Amino acid sequence: MLLDVQNLHVHYGAIHALKGISFNVDRGEIVTLIGANGAGKSTVLRTISGLIRPTDGSMSYWAPRAGGSADASGAARQVNPCSLPAHKLVDLGISQVPEGRRIFPNLTVMDNLELGAYLRRDKAEMKRDFEMVFELFPRLKERRAQAAGTLSGGEQQMLAMGRGLMSRPDLLLLDEPSMGLAPLLVKEIFQVIVRINQSGTAILLVEQNASMALAVAQRAYVLETGSIALEGSAAELAKDPRVQAAYLGSA
């Protein structure tokens, strides 16, 4: 187990955004949350990453970085993400790639990637990770000195993902990585998601493209108006008539 969420409730004022949801993510797997706009998917990720505080429920994260630093080693220890500020969670191995990319447009590609490694002090390992990002996204290497705001939408998504990887996460939270991208770029982004996962990084994927998400994930949860309506293996849910009718465009 890497992350365990139990009976999580989140409110925005009087709005009950998450209504007692429970789910988990195991080490080395891809888990996807699918659902319509407003179902609460992004709220889940923002709560896990410490940007929103829950009003009830619990979360447990087994941090492989027992020492809490980017180059620490040792046995995993259980921590409560709800009790820590967001930057501490990054230091413990949780990284989020936000919806809408949120890159720094006036900084260069390299500057953006370096900000992703802000908490790290292991310079030699950082250099290797820059090369790893450039291997995953060759176009970023070609544009490393270019202002991030001048990149195409697909390249900005690549940069956002590369920046997230520079903290060397054990759990990568991906929020709508295919949003606004052409079909060929969507396919490329999902191929990279699989490669990231194959390198050992667990991924919690929020995605409106249910077909692509279910194709790469091992397990899936369907979120409807703040509650989990369905859960199971991704292959099973892809065949479920309710999922097909609501999210896959078939009856």
Residue 26 to residue 45: CA distance in whole angstroms: 16
pLDDT of the residue at 110 = 96
pLDDT of the residue at 67 = 43
Cβ-contact 156, 98 below 8 angstroms:
no
Which ranges of the chain have pLDDT less than 70?
65-75, 250-251
Residue ranges of the domains in the chain? 3-247
Cβ-contact 242, 230 below 8 angstroms:
yes
pLDDT of the residue at 73 = 46
pTM for the model stands at 0.91
What the block records as the tokens of 32 is 């996807």
pLDDT of the residue at 23 = 97
Eight-state DSSP code of residue 178: T
Q: What integer best gives the mean pLDDT of the chain?
A: 91
Cβ-contact 52, 40 below 8 angstroms:
no
Options 3.40.50.300, 3.20.20.80, 3.40.50.720, 1.10.10.10; CATH for 3-247 is 3.40.50.300
pLDDT of the residue at 59 = 95
